[in-house]
Structure 1
Amino acid sequence: MKQIIVALFCLIVLGSCTKGFETANQNPNQISDELLKQDFNLVGSPISGMVFNLNGHQIEEDLCYDNWMGYMGTPTDFVGNVNNTTYYIRWNSYWDRVYGSVMAPAKQVIKLAQENSLPLFGDWAKLIRILGISKLAAIHGPVIYSNYGSTAASILYDKESDLYTLLFKQLDSIQTDFGANTAYGGFAKFDPTSYAGSIPQWMKVVNSLRLRLAMRLSKVDPATAKTQGEKALNDPAGLIATNADNFINSLNGNIMPVAQICYQWDDTRMGGVIESFMVGLKDGRISKYFAPLGDASLAADHPTTPYKGIRNGAYIKAKADHVPFSKVSNDFNSVTTRRDFCAAEVAFLKAEAGLRGWAGAGDPKTNYENGVRLSFADWGASGVDAYLADATSKPVNYVDPIDPRNSFTTASTITVAWNAADNNELKLEKILTQKYLAAFTQTLEAWVDFRRTGYPKIPHVAKNDSGPDWGVIPADQWIKRMPFVNAERTGNTAAVTDAVTKMGTGAKDDIATRLWWDTGGPNF
């Protein structure tokens, strides 16, 4: 599919070679430059492909941070059961997706928008570019951004602190331009799934993204985080506040990645970690996320809730052993869109911002409960009132009926009901645990939150194959980042070496080096 998208993009951007000829001399099977300029096709057509590629696919999501955070587990013993899920890096592909299918077309759209006096399309491409690069930076740390497109022999990476400063500045500029053109309708044709071209709706995305990035910096640079967070919270354009505001991404005719790898390849199943939380907390969303077991005896530890997952970094002897465990819901096979940025996430961001004293955040309890309600409604789950009132149910221990080495005792003892008497640390754990549960199929930010705060409390991998090749993760720690891709290590070596120095004293290009905002320090 990637090749088809690239080919289509080249056709759209490059147009035909008949420009300047008379109509009679044009090849009827080619698209002329003049035709491409009509209705903004020249700058608008690449947008859907860019938005589609904001998210990772089977490898980037389901066999990396979906697994590391316990949303999904694999029954397959890839490469002798020594792979990304057990902390030995075999796959590393999101870098290529972002640069090849987001940054490259964005650069071209921005150039064409400038040449054709269509600045708002340039702003739109810049926003999508920021969405993509901010995800990539959450995976690797330093990235190539301000120097992207350079023809120098060595293309330097942006230091993380410099990158975030630049991203906030660019969001300022985009929001100013959008705010001066709220009635503009030129986007509509190219935005059928997300917002039908509504500038005011895209302004909510700008503010919500600013709030997300501000929260990443809440410990490493609390002053900047507070300034940027409050700017987002108090901007009159507002935030993604209702499910009608959700940023929805078209799958462009593709199968949802989590369904494809689960049903077509049989290589993922429900995660043992999310089983522990959802079964223990009596979470009504479980049937929206996962399919019940065909063999209920596999869930003998909780027979009234017939779901069973696979632990993160599990010991896997043979694929057939764990294949009978719970798949994702069959509904994912037929969806045509996916969630990209939801109101529930914003509500939980506001709840945490309230704990941190950011002006305009509102009451943490109200935002926490609103986040849960928004998520239940978004997924069509019932029972939210009883769920929010439950002050006794807790996560359960996980039992692997096939291999006891994968079983674990839950580290979390939280309940769902908000308790005003709790300290901020416990309140934060509740907020981020519910944010984690709401983030199914958009899980990268859960990995960010976990590295940033330690919440939700999840077990270590059962099988830790980390080592000197990719970095050693101690038995009491978790993976911190992904290394730079091999093409950069061999083809942009000096810049990679420089990027590592930008990560701090003692940093290495390995999976054990913390990102800038992952301080390891106290949350308050």
Structure 2
Amino acid sequence: MKKFIYLFSLVLVFGACTDDFVETNTNPYQISDISLEQDFNNLGAFYPAMLSQIFGNQIDHNLTNVSYSQHLATPTPFVGGVNNTTYYITWNGYWGREYSNVMAPAKQVIGIAEEGGYDVFVAWAKLIRILSMSRVTLYQGPVIYTHYGETGEVLYDSEETLYNAFFTDLDEIIGVFSANMDYVGLNNFDASYGGSVPAWAKFANSLRLRLAMRLSKVDPALAKAQGEKAMADPVGLIETNGENFNISLYGVKFHPAQIDYEWGDTRMSATMESILIGYKDPRIEKYFDPVSDMSLVADHPDWPYKGIRNGAQLVAKDDRLGFSNIDISFNDPAKVTKRKVMSADEVYFLKAEAALRNWTGSGGPSAAQAHYEAGVRASFELWGAGGVDAYLADNTSLPIDYTDPKADAPINDFVNQITNPVAWDETADNETKLEKIITQKWIACYTNEMESWMDNRRTGYPKLPPVYVNASNSDWGIIPQGDILRRMPFVNAEREGNAAGVADATAKLGGPDEIGTRLWWDTGGPNF
């Protein structure tokens, strides 16, 4: 009996020691898997890293879509003046950035979140994935989306398939958000909206409206259905600047400021000079710094801003370093801590165009003026500019002609082609009204030029001057004189590592893998 009691006591002792072994031997300073799961850190840590990569660097943006939209221009004659900005493709890196830093981690976190039943985190990652790919497709057309993560030679989605997949995924995302409006799990990881699910739902609706409008010419029925769905959703759209979707810079300097102030490779564009000065636009002082050398602005000394023509003939970088920088505030990470992705002004301009197209929910054609003027007002408010009433009432001012003070005439000079003033004219035809809407949208899209490049290809507005130097050739495709670059080629890594996929993508593109091939929604046809 004593022996039995002794053995039973040993079992209790060793059992207790074994039960306490993990706790006793756990490093108290190490975050456990359980702690990570309890605080959502095993999921949330992915999101700031993904969002921070939506905007790229000099190669990804400043020397591609920023130049093609003609908001900023370079004083630097890279590669002897034969480069992206003069229509010879030298750099093409955005694809790699987005697949490595957004699509790959999104796939990983979606898997973790689905396994744990965290539906809102799944929806959030899928929304970020759509945002990323909806930008990449503006570069190249067909992309890898529905087949992403497959092995071997992976097929691309045609643009038609891609946009339908976006809309299907948005249905799911908005459904999840709508059912979880009080969810707080995102709070510690969301520098954009502080974890507010309703705010993310408004962005998702607004993104649907943006994507729908892209298709307004190529598939009017689909565009109308999706645009009306966005406007009808009870969650609503982004319609105040307090609801804007901005991405935190996470303490890093606003990248064009680094390109401008540290590297000296970007300045105000001549097109911005022409349009902002001609329209007497007060936002100019919020966007750019005046020149210190007044001899550069002898043709308009009351407006001391000078820009560089996109695709200019350049000899030496130093020639134009004295032209207008972007506003100095952008160079201070303490002042500029975020970058806009979608703002109220864009949503109002989308609704103005929807009204012209008589989409239900827009108020119809008679509401176009109200949306147009609300968009201008929202932009002035966002930038802290005054004088919006006088600006909207101006029915005489027009953009000005441009003269390059550092070149012999007529090198780099251009004659303005815009003959449409700011003030709304209800008696004008829809084409004239659309030009007003898109021109003001172009001005307001400053710092988010991807959509401006898309609109210019889709509608032909604003009427931008052609590049002065067109160095395109048979290597990447020839852009006819006076026309614009329509897309970026598929990247070399894909050409070499997924040749069959690129061949299939080129077939889906509907034309050669060249810079002059129009994307699906860029029909070249009439706007109405």
TM more than 0.5:
yes
Bigger mean CA offset, 214-223 vs 111-120: 111-120
> SS state of the match for residue 479, structure 1?
coil
* Cα shift readout 1:191-224 (whole Å, capped 9, x = no counterpart): 1x31111111111011100000000000000000
Q: 2:305 aligns with which of 301, 304, 307?
A: 307
Asked if the contact 1:398/1:407 (under 8 Å) is kept, the reply is yes
| Structure 1 residue 31 displacement after superposition | 4.0
Asked if the contact 1:389/1:417 (under 8 Å) is kept, the reply is yes
**For residue 397 of structure 1, what is the amino acid of its counterpart?**
D
Question: RMSD value over aligned CA atoms?
Answer: 1.3
Structure 1 counterpart of 2:158: 159
| Structure 1 residue 515 displacement after superposition | 0.3
Give runs of aligned pairs for residues 139-178 of structure 1, distance below 5 A: 139-151=139-151, 153-178=152-177
In structure 1, distance between residues paired with 2:339 and 2:311: 26
Normalising by structure 1, we get a TM-score of 0.94
In structure 2, distance between residues paired with 1:31 and 1:106: 23
**For residue 64 of structure 1, what is the amino acid of its counterpart?**
T
Identity %: 56
CA 1:30/1:200 → structure 2, altered by over 3 Å: closer, same or farther?
same
In structure 2, distance between residues paired with 1:323 and 1:30: 52
Asked if the contact 1:220/1:519 (under 8 Å) is kept, the reply is yes
In structure 2, distance between residues paired with 1:124 and 1:331: 32
Give runs of aligned pairs for residues 102-121 of structure 1, distance below 5 A: 102-121=102-121
Structure 2 counterpart of 1:320: 318
**For residue 175 of structure 2, what is the amino acid of its counterpart?**
T
* Cα shift readout 1:376-425 (whole Å, capped 9, x = no counterpart): 00000111111001011000001111123111001111110001011100
**For residue 292 of structure 1, what is the amino acid of its counterpart?**
P
* Cα shift readout 1:311-337 (whole Å, capped 9, x = no counterpart): 111111000111110000000012111
Structure 2 counterpart of 1:98: 98
Structure 1 counterpart of 2:344: 343
Asked if the contact 1:69/1:273 (under 8 Å) is kept, the reply is no
In structure 1, distance between residues paired with 2:69 and 2:414: 14
Asked if the contact 2:467/2:482 (under 8 Å) is kept, the reply is no
> SS state of the match for residue 340, structure 2?
strand
Q: List gaps (5 residues or longer) in structure 1.
A: 1-19
**For residue 137 of structure 1, what is the amino acid of its counterpart?**
T
Q: 1:296 aligns with which of 294, 297, 311?
A: 294
**For residue 138 of structure 1, what is the amino acid of its counterpart?**
L
| Structure 1 residue 65 displacement after superposition | 1.3
Give runs of aligned pairs for residues 373-392 of structure 1, distance below 5 A: 373-392=377-396
| Structure 1 residue 461 displacement after superposition | 0.4
Asked if the contact 1:69/1:312 (under 8 Å) is kept, the reply is no
In structure 2, distance between residues paired with 1:499 and 1:232: 30
Structure 2 counterpart of 1:271: 269
> SS state of the match for residue 22, structure 1?
helix
| Structure 1 residue 27 displacement after superposition | 5.7
Give runs of aligned pairs for residues 77-476 of structure 1, distance below 5 A: 77-151=77-151, 153-191=152-190, 193-334=191-332, 335-362=336-363, 363-403=367-407, 404=409, 405-476=411-482
Structure 2 counterpart of 1:47: 47
Aligned length: 501
Structure 1 counterpart of 2:516: 512
Structure 2 counterpart of 1:12: none
Structure 1 counterpart of 2:58: 58
Normalising by structure 2, we get a TM-score of 0.93
CA 1:255/1:231 → structure 2, altered by over 3 Å: closer, same or farther?
same
In structure 1, distance between residues paired with 2:53 and 2:31: 25
| Structure 1 residue 24 displacement after superposition | 5.1
- Larger Cα Rg: Structure 1 or Structure 2? 2
In structure 2, distance between residues paired with 1:270 and 1:278: 11
| Structure 1 residue 277 displacement after superposition | 0.3
In structure 1, distance between residues paired with 2:170 and 2:419: 39
Asked if the contact 1:217/1:225 (under 8 Å) is kept, the reply is yes
> SS state of the match for residue 406, structure 1?
coil
* Cα shift readout 1:263-284 (whole Å, capped 9, x = no counterpart): 0100000001111100000000
In structure 1, distance between residues paired with 2:143 and 2:35: 37
| Structure 1 residue 297 displacement after superposition | 1.2
CA 1:247/1:81 → structure 2, altered by over 3 Å: closer, same or farther?
same
Asked if the contact 2:349/2:437 (under 8 Å) is kept, the reply is yes
Q: List gaps (5 residues or longer) in structure 2.
A: 1-19
Structure 2 counterpart of 1:9: none
| Structure 1 residue 82 displacement after superposition | 0.6
**For residue 439 of structure 1, what is the amino acid of its counterpart?**
C
Structure 1 counterpart of 2:13: none
| Structure 1 residue 35 displacement after superposition | 2.6
